[in-house]
């Protein structure tokens, strides 16, 4: 059984429908204590990072997520659920210091930043784009060069990490990358965590295949 965390940040229905399509029972979960009975946990989400963190904290779901991941449970973050894993976000933040920006779950090193529309980019990025998983060694490596569906104005910046390829192998963290005006981290695998900026549940056959492989890990 799969737990889909419902913290009032959208896209629950499409995620439930995708797992139903591959015959994997999934349930919405609003009570953090109930996460204990599930082996697979999904944190979806669309909307604003600060509101999402506030919703998680009000429900004590932030600590529950960390605890269940620490136990080694299979975890998938999607879109906003991916961004929340990082240290902070500059969304709705007027300062310049990452240390005082809106804090995330701090399960991944890096910061969430806004695409620069002055470069001529359309923000948000809406549509299909490919992922470069050349240096990934897990599930995502099997999807190198394939296209997935993105909808987002903010991206994960991991350029300050101490690795020439940004795969942070010393930390057992492997990022996949996408080009959209800049090269950004569009997905990650770290131990029992897999998370992606794109929406596998909206990405056709490749997205469904990705979900199948994640469930089987």
Strand partners, 176: 187
Question: Which residue among the candidates 24, 27, 79, 90 is catalytic per the annotation?
Answer: 79
Find all residues with CB under 8 Å of 70, minimum gap 6, and list them.
none
201 is catalytic: yes
Find all residues with CB under 8 Å of 7, minimum gap 6, and list them.
30, 45, 52, 55, 56, 59, 61
Question: Which residue among the candidates 68, 90, 189, 201 is catalytic per the annotation?
Answer: 201
CA distance 62 to 67: 9
Residues 83/112, Cβ–Cβ less than 8 Å: yes
Strand partners, 89: 102, 112
CA distance 209 to 217: 13
Question: Which residue among the candidates 111, 152, 189, 199 is catalytic per the annotation?
Answer: 199
68 is catalytic: no
141 is catalytic: no
CA distance 143 to 80: 21
Residues 52/80, Cβ–Cβ less than 8 Å: yes
Q: Catalytic residues, which ones?
A: 79, 199, 201
């Amino acid at each position: 059984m799969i737990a889909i965390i419902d913290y009032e940040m959208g896209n629950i229905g499409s995620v439930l429908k995708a797992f139903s399509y591959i015959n994997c029972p999934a349930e919405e979960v609003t009570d953090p204590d109930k996460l204990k009975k599930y082996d697979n946990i999904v944190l979806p989400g669309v909307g604003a990072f600060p509101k999402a963190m506030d919703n998680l904290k009000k429900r004590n779901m932030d600590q529950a997520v960390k605890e269940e991941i620490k136990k080694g449970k299979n975890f998938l973050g999607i879109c906003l659920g991916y961004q929340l894993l990082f240290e902070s976000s500059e969304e709705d933040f007027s300062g310049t210091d990452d240390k005082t920006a809106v804090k995330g779950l701090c399960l991944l090193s890096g910061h969430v930043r806004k695409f620069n529309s002055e470069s001529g980019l359309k923000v948000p990025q809406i549509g299909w784009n490919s992922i470069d998983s050349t240096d990934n060694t897990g599930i995502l490596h099997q999807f190198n060069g394939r296209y997935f569906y993105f909808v987002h104005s903010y991206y994960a910046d991991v350029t300050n990490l101490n690795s020439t390829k940004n795969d942070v192998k010393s930390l057992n963290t492997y990022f996949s990358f996408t080009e959209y005006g800049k090269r950004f981290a569009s997905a990650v695998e770290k131990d029992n965590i897999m998370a992606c900026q794109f929406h596998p549940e909206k990405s056709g056959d490749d997205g469904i295949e990705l979900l199948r492989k994640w469930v089987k890990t």
